[in-house]
Amino acid sequence: MTAPTLAITDSDPIGASADALIIGTLAGPDGLTLAPGSAEVDSAFGGGLVDLLAAVGAKGKADEVVKIPARGAVPATVVVATGLGSSSGPEEQVTAEQVRRAAGAAARALAGTGHAVSLLSLLDLGAAAQGTLLGAYRFTRYRTEPGDGPVGRVEFALPPGVEGDPQATLKAATAIASAVNTARDLVNTPPNDLFPESFAERAADLAKEAGVDIEVLDEKGLRKGGYGGILGVGGGSTRGPRLLRLRYAHPRAVKKVALVGKGITFDSGGISLKPPADMDQMTSDMSGAAAVVASVVLAARLRYPLEVIAHVPLAENLPSGTAYRPGDVLTMYGGKTVEVLNTDAEGRLVLADAITRAAEDDPDYLIETSTLTGAQVVALGKRTPGVMGEDEFRDRVAEIARATGEGGWAMPLPEELRGDLDSKLADLANVTGHRWGGMLSAGHFLREFVKDGLPWAHIDIAGPAFNDKGPWGYTPKGGTGLPVRTIAAVLADIAEHG
C-alpha cells in the first residue's frame, strides 16, 4: 500500500484549495460543538456550521464522519467533520487517543481523495498524523481490483505556539505508524505465503533496510542447539520451523532489552485439532512475532539509545504423521522437560525456547508478546491485552500500554495455579487439567523459563491482535498491529528513565 504523504502547512489552512477540509466535532453536554481551532471555519460559514452539520445528523460522536459541501464558504470542496466524542474536563479537553481515532475515521472516509487539509493537528499534531496513517491503511495485495487508494496528501495546520520541533513530531509519528502497518501486513499475509521460511526472508529484508543484524536458525541449527519446543511444535508441517535473532545496538546504549514474539504462522491445534469455526483466524497467530520484528526495526529507525534484541520462534502447528502428540515429552532449550497434554497449547512451547535463549544475552528487561490464550479474550475482551510478569515491570508496561491507546491490564499469577502444571513424568505439563484462569496458567508456564531476577512482561494479545469485525477509529479489519506502539513507548521510556 502507498501511504498518504503528510506535510505541515505554514500558510492559512482554511484558505487552501484542497479537496477536503477536516475539522473535529465534539459531543458536548448540550449537543454538537466544534473542536477548539475551528472558529474560523465557522465564521467562513457565517457562524452556521454547527446548524448545517446538525441538520445532516452530526452528533460529534466517535467514529462519526459527516461531509458537507463547502459551496464557496471555504476554497476546499467539502468540509469533513470527524467526531471526537465527548470532551473530558472543562475546557473541551480531548485525549491524544480521541484525536488519533477521529483522524483515523476521517482518513478511512477519505479513501480515493487527492488532497486534504486537517485542523485536527491543532489539538495534537503527533496523534493526528499517526491516526491518519493508521486509518488510511488497507491490505489489497490479494485483490485483483484494489478499489480506491488511500487519501493522497494530508496537510496539517500548524498549532500556534507549538512545543518542540513539529517536523520531528511528524517524523516520529510516521515511523511509528509505518511500523504498525508493517506488522499489519505480516499478520494479513495468508499462511500459504507466510510460513516460517518466508517470514524469515521478510524479516531479513526489513532488517537489512534498517541496518539491523539478523541471524536465522533453520531446522538443522535448531536440532544442533537443542530447541526441543520449537522443533516439537514445528514437526507436523513440511514447512520447517525457524528461530530469528534480530539485533539493533546504539553505540551509547543505556540498557539492553530483549523482545520475544510468538510466531505460529498457522495454528490448527495440531493433533488436538481446533474446531473448524473461525480456524481461519489462526493465520494471525504470528502477531507477536510481527510486532517484535517491526519494533526492533523501529528502534533502529528512531535510533533509541538502547540495545534491542528480538528472538522470534516460527513454526506451523499442523497435524500429520510427523506431528508431535499429546503424551510426548519434549526437552526444551536449556534442558527442562515438558509433557505435552494438548498440542494446541503450542505457543508456550516455542516461547519457552526463545525466552531461555533471550536470557543468554543478559538483558536488563524482557518483553514478550503473544496471541497466547482464548482465555485472554474471555477475561478482557477483544480490545484489552492482558499483561503479566514481574510485578513492577508488568505494572509499568500496562500503564504505558493504556497511555498509547492500545490498552492493557495487569493480571496476577496466583500461586495456587502453579501446581496445576505439575506433570506425572516430566518437569512440567503444558496445560492444567481445567479451564480456570487459562491466561494466568499460560503466564505461569512462561515464568518457569524466565531467568531469576530478570524484570519481564508477557502481553497476551489473543483478542486485540486481530479485528474480525468492522473497522473503527484507526483500526482496520484484520491485523491491528498491536502491541507495536506499546513496545515502542516502553522502549522510549526505558531509554529515558532506565
**Residue 346 among known ligand-binding residues:** yes
Separation of first and last alpha carbons in the chain: 37
Using CB under 6 A, which of 346, 368, 390, 406 touches ligand BES?
A: 346
**Residue 267 among known ligand-binding residues:** yes
Q: Is 488 helix (H, G, I), strand (E, B) or coil?
A: helix
Choosing from 171, 202, 255, 274, which is the catalytic residue? 274
Using CB under 6 A, which of 374, 383, 447, 448 touches ligand BES?
A: 374
Selection from ligand BES, Mn ion, Zn ion, none that 438 binds (CB < 5 to 8 A by kind) is ligand BES
User: How near is the Cβ of 203 to ligand BES at its closest, in Å?
Assistant: 20
Helix, strand, coil fractions of the chain, as percent rounded to 5: 35, 20, 45
User: How near is the Cβ of 346 to Mn ion at its closest, in Å?
Assistant: 5
State the sign of the Cα–Cα–Cα–Cα dihedral 120, 186, 192, 354: negative
Q: How would you classify the pairing of strands 31-34 and 263-267?
A: unpaired
Q: Which residue is nearest to ligand BES (CB)?
A: 374
Query: What is the footprint of ligand BES within residues 448-477 (CB under 6 A)?
Result: 462
Query: What is the footprint of Zn ion within residues 309-348 (CB under 5 A)?
Result: 347
Site residues for Mn ion per CB under 5 A: 267, 344, 346
Q: Is 446 in the site for ligand BES (CB under 6 A)?
A: no
Using CB under 6 A, which of 431, 482, 490, 495 touches ligand BES?
A: 431
CB 482 within 8 A of CB 464: yes
CB 199 within 8 A of CB 283: no
Task: Give the nearer residue to ligand BES in terms of CB position, either 216 or 372.
Answer: 372
Q: How would you classify the pairing of strands 78-83 and 20-28?
A: parallel
Single-letter residue type at 65: V
Of 5, 7, 66, give the one whose Cα is nearest residue 34.
66
Task: Give the nearer residue to Mn ion in terms of CB position, either 27 or 312.
Answer: 312
Q: Is 288 in the site for ligand BES (CB under 6 A)?
A: no
Ramachandran sector of residue 212 (left: φ over 0; alpha: ψ -120 to 50; beta: rest): beta
Backbone angles phi, psi at 156, to 5 degrees: -105, 130
For this structure, is 223 an active site residue?
Answer: no
Q: Which residue is nearest to Mn ion (CB)?
A: 344
Q: How would you classify the pairing of strands 256-261 and 307-317?
A: parallel
State the sign of the Cα–Cα–Cα–Cα dihedral 266, 3, 407, 58: negative
User: How near is the Cβ of 382 to ligand BES at its closest, in Å?
Assistant: 9
Using CB under 6 A, which of 375, 387, 428, 491 touches ligand BES?
A: 375
Of 461, 475, 231, 248, give the one whose Cα is nearest residue 368.
461
Task: Give the nearer residue to Mn ion in terms of CB position, either 25 or 272.
Answer: 272
Using CB under 5 A, which of 64, 155, 285, 368 touches Zn ion?
A: 285
Of 431, 428, 240, 223, give the one whose Cα is nearest residue 322.
240
CA dist 463 and 75 (Å) reads: 44
CA dist 303 and 253 (Å) reads: 10
Choosing from 101, 108, 247, 348, which is the catalytic residue? 348
Of 334, 215, 365, 196, give the one whose Cα is nearest residue 265.
196
Using CB under 6 A, which of 371, 475, 480, 486 touches ligand BES?
A: 371
Task: Give the nearer residue to ligand BES in terms of CB position, either 371 or 467.
Answer: 371
Instruction: Report the side by side order of strands in the sheet with 337-339.
Output: 329-331, 337-339, 428-429
Q: How many CB atoms lie within 10 A of CB 353?
A: 29
Residues that contact Zn ion, how many (by CB under 5 A)? 4
Task: Give the nearer residue to ligand BES in terms of CB position, either 73 or 440.
Answer: 440
Task: Give the nearer residue to ligand BES in terms of CB position, either 56 or 273.
Answer: 273
User: How near is the Cβ of 347 to Zn ion at its closest, in Å?
Assistant: 4
For this structure, is 336 an active site residue?
Answer: no
User: How near is the Cβ of 285 to Zn ion at its closest, in Å?
Assistant: 4
Strand-pair partners of 397: none
Backbone angles phi, psi at 368, to 5 degrees: -120, 140
Q: Which residues contact 141 (CB under 8 A, 6 or more apart)?
A: 189
**Residue 448 among known ligand-binding residues:** no
Q: Would you call 472 exposed, middle or buried from its count of C-beta atoms within 10 A (0-12, 13-18, 19+)? A: middle
Using CB under 6 A, which of 150, 228, 347, 405 touches ligand BES?
A: 347
Q: Which residues contact 134 (CB under 8 A, 6 or more apart)?
A: 100, 104, 107, 177, 180, 181, 474, 475, 481
Residues that contact ligand BES, how many (by CB under 6 A)? 16
Name residue, grid cell 456550521: 49
Query: What is the footprint of Zn ion within residues 345-384 (CB under 5 A)?
Result: 347
Task: Give the nearer residue to ligand BES in terms of CB position, either 145 or 278.
Answer: 278
User: How near is the Cβ of 332 to ligand BES at its closest, in Å?
Assistant: 17
Selection from Zn ion, ligand BES, Mn ion, none that 216 binds (CB < 5 to 8 A by kind) is none
Task: Give the nearer residue to ligand BES in terms of CB position, either 184 or 396.
Answer: 184
Query: What is the footprint of Zn ion within residues 263-282 (CB under 5 A)?
Result: 264, 267
The set of catalytic residues is 274, 348
Which residues of the shown chain bind ligand BES in the complex (CB under 6 A)? 267, 285, 342, 344-347, 371-375, 377, 431, 438, 462
Binding-site residue positions for Mn(2+): 262, 267, 285, 344, 346
Which residues of the shown chain bind Zn ion in the complex (CB under 5 A)? 264, 267, 285, 347
Binding-site residue positions: 262, 267, 285, 344, 346
